[in-house]
Amino acid sequence: MAKVADFVVIFDDGVRKRHYYETEKGKVTYFAVQLEIKVKRGEWKVVVRYDCSHGFPHVDKYDIKGKQTKRILNLSFETALTYGDWDINENWLKYKQEFLRGVNDE
C-alpha cells in the first residue's frame, strides 16, 4: 500500500510551498513540490514546480503571465524531490521577486 505525504509550508504572507509525494515499499513513486504565490484574493499561481508528472523528474518555472520553461532533471525521483524541496526552501524569495517582475529565464 502506498504511503502519502501532503503538506503546505507558509513562507510569507501570500507565499507557500506545497509538498506532496507517494512512496511504495520505501521508494518514491510520485512527487510534486511547488512554490505558489497568491496573486488575487483566493487565487494562487505556481512559480516553480518540481515533479514527475510525465514519467520523468523535471522542473517547470513560470512567470506572472504564465510563460513556462521546462528543464529535465537527470535524477532519481528521490533525489529530485529532495533537491526541489531544498531549492525552494533556499530560493523562494528570489523566485518570488523574479515571478512578480515577469522574469522567467532558465
The pLDDT tens digits of the residues spanning 85-102 come to 999 999 999 999 999 887
Q: Under the phi-then-psi rule, with left for phi > 0, alpha for psi from -120 to 50, and beta for the rest, what region is 55? A: left
Q: Is the pLDDT of residue 11 over 70?
A: yes
Q: What is the mean pLDDT of residues 69-84?
A: 97
Report how far residue 53's alpha carbon sits from residue 9's, in angstroms, rounded to the nearest whole number: 22
Predicted local confidence at residue 64, as pLDDT: 84
Q: Is the pLDDT of residue 75 over 60?
A: yes
Predicted local confidence at residue 42, as pLDDT: 82
C-alpha torsion sign, points 8, 12, 13, 14: negative
